[in-house]
Amino acid sequence: MSQIALPLDWPADETDADFIVSDSNAAAIRHLEHVGTWPVWATLLVGPRKSGRSLLGRIFTLKSGGALIDNAETCDEERIFHAWNAAQERRRPLLMIADREPPEWTPQLPDLRSRLLATPVVRIGTPDTQLIDSLMERLLVGRGILTKPEFRAFAASQLRSYVAVLRFVDLVDNFALERRGTKIGIPLAKRALSEMGMFDEQTLG
């Protein structure tokens, strides 16, 4: 896993100077870097919420000059259908982002269903502990909170999703503000995890 300036020479997002690359998202990034190998001028990117998928989509469109449809499952199907056709005609890539892929996502429009079946799917997986550690550190540093590796390792062993990481960081930040000078150690991590219902308060000690 590495934390690099956005893949290759991709331009930085207005809110994110770095993109953390790990086994969870590396395959998706490689696919987006090689548009010329796509079987059609469209791709469906699926992954958990808060996984950086929208950021990755924006970076991709800036680099490729293509089009982006985020939260595709909630979009008008005619719009997606015409965008897919336009991508083939203009030979400019279309990236669609969704929570699910076919057959879990089944559009009502038959012509769109057939096109999605011909569209490659790439996935951002659930975060591994290294990615959680790096993401946690970056978010906390952004709030002026420095932590030791053992603090992050303990928290990372309990957290299983991107949303959980964000909630944990919010709680740590709030606890630190409540008590200025509070030591950012494992007891505070336990307190935050307990607040999230992920740790038994009786073990806090």
The domain spanning residue 183 has which CATH number?
A: 1.10.8
Predicted local distance difference test score (pLDDT) of residue 157: 92
Do 31 and 8 belong to one domain? yes
Domain range for 21:
2-123
Conformational region of residue 16, where left means phi above 0, alpha means psi within -120 to 50, and beta covers everything else: beta
Predicted local distance difference test score (pLDDT) of residue 15: 40
Do 138 and 110 belong to one domain? no
The last residue of a domain, from among 80, 103, 123: 123
**pLDDT tens digits, 103-123:** 999 999 999 999 999 999 999
Predicted local distance difference test score (pLDDT) of residue 55: 87
Do 86 and 10 belong to one domain? yes
Q: Is residue 139 within a helix (H) or strand (E), and if so which, with residue range?
A: helix 129-142
- Residues across the chain: 205
Do 80 and 119 belong to one domain? yes
Do 83 and 165 belong to one domain? no
The last residue of a domain, from among 123, 140, 159: 123
Number of domains in the chain: 2
Do 101 and 196 belong to one domain? no
Predicted local distance difference test score (pLDDT) of residue 201: 52
List, for the chain, all residue ranges whose pLDDT scores fall below the cut of 70: 1-19, 181-182, 199-205
Whole-number Å distance between alpha carbons of 39 and 147: 45
Do 81 and 136 belong to one domain? no
Whole-number Å distance between alpha carbons of 30 and 51: 16
**pLDDT tens digits, 3-15:** 333 333 334 444 4
Q: Output the CA–CA distances (angstroms, integers) from residue 61 to 49, 65, 200, in the order listed.
A: 19, 5, 45
Predicted local distance difference test score (pLDDT) of residue 182: 67
Predicted local distance difference test score (pLDDT) of residue 40: 98
- In the block, tokens 């290759």 appear at 8
The last residue of a domain, from among 123, 157, 184: 123
Predicted local distance difference test score (pLDDT) of residue 181: 61
Amino acid at 162: Y
